[in-house]
């Protein structure tokens, strides 16, 4: 369900795996990034359900803070992914040429903070 040599995935890997104790594994046919031995904080590729179902092969799915969710949902760049959407996750496509990779790094960091144990968050903030 993904191309191992996808340049967008390579760029995403660089950002995601730079986070403390981050690892990548393949689950459900897609790359998932998680804190070692713990909770996932990002997924590469997704889709939406329903009558207007869309595949987002170059989509990044992350957990979004509740206070940011309403604004992100209104932003047309974001989508509510199937299955993870009801749990507070949103997706953003990485393939537009004007993708803001600093924003992507911030989204990854915020999602990582949601998944990481407090000790790791404290180390990152130190």
Question: Scanning the structure block, which residue is given the tokens 């393939």?
Answer: 95
Residue 48 clears pLDDT 90, i.e. is over it: no
> Mean pLDDT, to the nearest integer, of 71-94?
94
Residue 81 pLDDT exceeds 90: yes
The pLDDT confidence band at residue 85, using thresholds 50, 70 and 90, is very high
Cα 32 from Cα 16, distance rounded (Å): 10
- Let me know: does 24 contact 13? Beta carbons within 8 Å: yes
Tell me the three state secondary structure of residue 86.
helix
Rounded-to-integer distance, Cα 9 and Cα 1, Å: 12
Which tokens hold the place of 36? Answer: 């070692």
Band (pLDDT 50/70/90 cuts) for residue 50 is confident
CATH code given to domain 7-125: 3.90.1150.30
pLDDT at position 4: 85
Q: What is the mean pLDDT of the chain?
A: 93
């Amino acid at each position: 369900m993904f191309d191992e040599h996808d340049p967008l995935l390579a760029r995403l890997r660089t950002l995601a795996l730079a986070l403390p104790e981050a690892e990548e594994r393949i689950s459900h046919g897609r790359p998932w990034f998680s804190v070692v031995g713990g909770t996932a904080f990002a997924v590469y590729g997704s889709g939406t359900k329903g009558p207007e179902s869309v595949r987002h092969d170059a989509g990044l799915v992350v957990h979004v803070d509740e206070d940011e969710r309403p604004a992100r949902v209104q932003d047309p760049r974001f989508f509510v992914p199937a299955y993870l959407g009801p749990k507070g996750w949103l997706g953003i496509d990485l393939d537009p040429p004007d993708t803001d990779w600093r924003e992507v790094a911030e989204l990854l960091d915020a999602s990582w903070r949601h998944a990481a144990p407090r000790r790791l968050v404290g180390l990152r903030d130190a």
